[in-house]
Amino acid sequence: MDSHGQVEQRVVWCVVDSGIGPLLLAATREGLVSVVFHARDAVRDRAVERLASRLGTEPVEAPGSPLLAEAIRQVGAYFAGERRDFDLPLDWSLISGFNREVLRELASGVPYGTVVGYGDLAGRVGQPGAAQAVGMAMGANPLPVVVPCHRVVESGGGIGGFGGGLETKRKLLALEGVLPEPLF
């Protein structure tokens, strides 16, 4: 509690190694709140600043925090090929409205090793003409990998865009057996 009797928001974060480079994981008491790709110094620092601004509290680096322990374990198991689904509490406070609705449908309705088109996902949330808005929701996803926006592709067979970069998307889809492993 703070001096006004309010429950103080606590945000903890750490950087973990993965098959696609360093990932920043951040959590609150509600659950995992953010996953950030390519979390080397400059990217990590900007991500922590953005979290402080959006959540109203200074995130604390705490790799040993119980709030992060299960997320660290499950992310490690996913990249080791030992886990297909994430079973983590998620803090959805960084996303709302249509974007949240689309991301929740993605998380629950597009399993490991499958893909869905932007338009198909729009239809699943009752907005069949909103493929472009689904693309925007994927770009705003605060929980990539765990909420698998890499599984959303173009209906014509193209890979589509990706906030973590197309090479990262290809690696994630290869890990899940959707694409062949790159030769080089």
pLDDT confidence band for 183 (50 / 70 / 90): low
pLDDT at 155: 83
β 12-16/23-27 pair status: antiparallel
Distance CA 154, CA 161 (A): 9
Q: What is the DSSP letter of 150?
A: G
Residue among 168, 7, 150, 145 nearest 77 (CA): 145
Q: How far is CA 88 from CA 16, 30, 67, 69, 102, in A?
A: 17, 10, 11, 11, 18
What average pLDDT is seen over the chain?
92
Sorted by where each begins, the domain ranges of the chain are 12-80, 97-176
Q: Is there a catalytic annotation at residue 14?
A: no
Residue whose tokens read 């299960």: 70
* Lookup: tokens for 71: 């997320």
- The pLDDT of residue 181: 67
> What's the pTM?
0.91
Report the pLDDT averaged over residues 161-169: 92
> What is the predicted pLDDT for the residue at 176?
96
Candidate list 32, 94, 131, 149, residue with the active-site label: 149
pLDDT of residue 125: 96
Q: What number of other Cβ atoms are within 10 A of residue 104's Cβ? A: 15
Reported as a single tens digit per residue, the pLDDT across 3-57 is: 444 456 699 999 999 999 999 999 999 999 999 999 999 999 999 999 999 999 9
Give yes or no for residue 58 having a pLDDT over 60.
yes
Class of domain 97-176: mainly alpha
Which of 72, 142, 51 has its CA nearest to residue 103?
Answer: 142
Could you read off the pLDDT of 98-149 as tens digits, one per residue? 999 999 999 999 999 999 999 999 999 999 999 999 999 999 999 999 999 9
Of all residues in the chain, the percent with pLDDT exceeding 90 is 88
C-alpha 180 chain-centroid distance: 23
Please, which pLDDT band fits residue 179 given cuts at 50, 70 and 90? confident
CA–CA gap between residue 113 and residue 99 (Å, rounded): 23
Query: Both tokens of residue 107?
Result: 């998380």
Buried b (16+ CB within 10 A) or exposed e, 148-162: bbbbbbeeeeebbbb
* 144 Cβ neighbours under 8 A, 6+ residues apart: 35, 37, 150, 163, 164
